[in-house]
Amino acid sequence: MTTIERIKEILIGIVMISMSLYMLHEPRRGFRLIIIVFSVTLLLTGIRSILYYIDMGRHMVDGRTALYKGVILADLSSLGLMLNNFSTLYIVLYLVSIHAFSGGVDVFGAVQAKKLDTPWRGKLIEGVVNLAVAGFCVY
């Protein structure tokens, strides 16, 4: 991990902690702020994936996956922004389902990585933690 990546991760952590403190202080506004930040992040990630496909992915084997990923992330972003006008319950269900889906994908990827004899433990732990967060939110 380079120094720039470490600084980026530290800044992301600080932003997440400050958003959680804001959410404790202002619960209604906190959920709306989180869904806006989450949707903008999904949109930027989707655009980045689409641009990657346009630049290099279309010339690679299985490059269309980047295009599909970008379109799906952009759609999830628009769904999140639409949910911002609805009840907090829908926002929470949306966030829980994203955590559960992400955890399931990470666990599945870890199983595939183990079959290919590549590093898999970190991805498995991340997936299990995401599934646990989704479970605790539902509980």
pLDDT given for residue 137 in this prediction = 81
Determine the Cα angle at 105 with ends 101 and 109, to 5°: 170
pLDDT given for residue 120 in this prediction = 87
Q: In this predicted model, which residue has the larger pLDDT, 88 or 66? A: 66
Q: Does 71 have pLDDT greater than 80?
A: yes
pLDDT band at 23; cut points 50, 70, 90: confident
* 84 contacts: CB under 8 Å, gap ≥ 6: 32, 35, 36, 39, 91
pLDDT band at 43; cut points 50, 70, 90: very high
pLDDT given for residue 51 in this prediction = 93
